[in-house]
Chain A
């Protein structure tokens, strides 16, 4: 049981380039999330999804887009990368909301934008 898998693990981009981070979960979870982690900032929610075909904005959505075409996959896209998007990105999934909202995290994707 792989849990939550993120690809790629590392990526270096030049300013203005685009890329997509892929998150896959095999636990049949309804909810999926993308966070970014920056030193001293904790984790901040970028976008989330409460089910296949749905997405919603989180705390810091600007510059990112997401899609949830299949229940098991949640894609995070950067349309035109900026140095401010240098960060570690974590995908997470959960079975449900509130008290059932125990998150299972991926191992992270480290993105550097030059």
Chain B
């Protein structure tokens, strides 16, 4: 059972509103990630963090921002939501296995709809 939690699971909000998607993990993982995925489409990395006070932008340009003040918490914020932000947002965390493989565990996702 995955120990990574995302809230809210579903959010419908109007244009211009500020939203924060929460992500917490209890596994003590240093690395955390945010992916964006539209229905039937591939996963796109939008943000990642390798530890406290470390955040980087991913491959897909995003108007969202993230913070990593605590190891277990990696929230994503949109200051002014637009319909183009409508998507599924997946949070993940990872640890290196003894083999060196970096294995990701995903949260259940937050489905955002901006009207």
Q: Do A and B come from one complex?
A: no
